[in-house]
Amino acid sequence: MKIFGEINYPLGEIDQLGIIGWIYQSRQSFDTSLTYYHQALDKSKQIGFVEGEANQLSNLGLVNQNKGLLDVALDYYQQALEIDKKTGTKLGEAQDLLTIGWVYEKRGNLDEAIKKYESSVNINRKIGYKQGESAGLTSLGMLYQRKGDLDDALKNLTLAEDISAEISSKPSQANQLHMIGQLYKVKGELDSALQSYQEAEKIYSEIGDRIGQARQMNNIAQIYKSKGNTKEALTYYQQALKIARVYKDKYGEASILSNIAFSYINQGDSKSGLEFANEALKIFREIGAQKEAQTVAENIKKVEELISRDTTSTKK
């Protein structure tokens, strides 16, 4: 950045300011990232670089959204959208509509969010930007799921996954398959859920995302458990647990331990089940997962009360 300044090349300075801002944003240092994005915005305005101005306005919107300042974020996004419309920058316009949709969704204005997502999808479809189209369809799918419209959610996520497969966007495809599996599980279509989770697990393994792989193994195990195949479920739980421990995924480890615990308890082995449950409880408390810890603690209490009643009844 300093060298670009010395040779009086402002486009280079703007580029570096944006990159530095992104690095601080990635580190969750939002106020520092805002400083660099504002500098990049000011320099873009000084030289009349309107495309750069729109990019930095979008960046400022995202940081403020991450900070929870939704009204501020929306204002920046809308400024970026106005510029991209004037300059005919369709790619930017589609992204602006997507991010504006995010804000509307966070504010609870779901119908307006759907309109923005659909507009973003349509623009990306027209210009042939498959990755953007897939991202918009994914947002639509997740929003329909939130509304309880599982069929429309499934339709949009399936379209998104098809596109990700077409362009070989493996991480996106694996995530979409995971969400599709969740939908099938809620719908009670366990075989379809199992197939989606297995496909996702395979992709996570291929791309070397071991934590993602372990979490899909956990999902696969839950389906086998629901289907009454506890033996197969425990096999997958144990494999997932091993990976979670190697890669220090504490939340995943605790979740898997909890699932193993209640698999044993459902089989009538309360002693083994409580050992795993208490181990899960300890980890959830260590990492500050209060809601999960409370759920496990309540379940442990129920099991202990049942054991106490059974013991008392036997003595009588």
Contact between 95 and 129 (Cβ < 8 Å): no
Average confidence (pLDDT) over 110-135: 97
pLDDT at position 312 is 60
In a domain, 312, yes or no: no
In a domain, 4, yes or no: yes
Enter the DSSP assignment of 149: -
Q: Which two tokens stand for residue 138?
A: 């994914």
Q: What is the pLDDT of residues 104-113, one digit of tens each?
A: 999 999 999 9
More confident site: 306 or 190: 190
In a domain, 104, yes or no: no
Please calculate the CA angle 133-171-116 and round it to the nearest 5 degrees.
25
- What Rg value do the Cα atoms of the chain yield, rounded? 24
Please calculate the CA angle 259-260-265 and round it to the nearest 5 degrees.
100
**Is pLDDT of 116 > 90?**
yes
Q: Which domain holds residue 41?
A: 1-67
pLDDT at position 285 is 96
- Please, which pLDDT band fits residue 305 given cuts at 50, 70 and 90? confident
**Is pLDDT of 315 > 70?**
no
- Please, which pLDDT band fits residue 245 given cuts at 50, 70 and 90? very high
- Please, which pLDDT band fits residue 306 given cuts at 50, 70 and 90? confident
- Please, which pLDDT band fits residue 308 given cuts at 50, 70 and 90? confident
Contact between 79 and 67 (Cβ < 8 Å): no
pLDDT at position 309 is 73
Q: What is the pLDDT of residues 131-189, one digit of tens each?
A: 999 999 999 999 999 999 999 999 999 999 999 999 999 999 999 999 999 999 999 99
Considering only CA atoms, which of 32, 79, 74 is closest in space to residue 56? 79
In a domain, 281, yes or no: no
pLDDT at position 313 is 58
In a domain, 196, yes or no: no
Considering only CA atoms, which of 137, 185, 142, 183 is closest in space to residue 164? 137
- Please, which pLDDT band fits residue 84 given cuts at 50, 70 and 90? very high
In a domain, 57, yes or no: yes
pLDDT at position 310 is 62
Contact between 132 and 163 (Cβ < 8 Å): no
Contact between 155 and 136 (Cβ < 8 Å): no
Please calculate the CA angle 168-169-170 and round it to the nearest 5 degrees.
95
In a domain, 34, yes or no: yes
In a domain, 8, yes or no: yes
Contact between 136 and 98 (Cβ < 8 Å): yes
Q: What is the pLDDT of residues 36-67, one digit of tens each?
A: 999 999 999 999 999 999 999 999 999 999 99
Amino acid, res. 91:
L
Rounded-to-integer distance, Cα 148 and Cα 83, Å: 36
Number of domains in the chain: 1
Q: Which two tokens stand for residue 287?
A: 């990492």
Helix runs in the chain, H state only:
2-6, 10-26, 30-46, 50-66, 70-87, 90-106, 110-127, 130-147, 150-166, 170-187, 190-207, 210-226, 230-246, 250-266, 270-286, 290-315
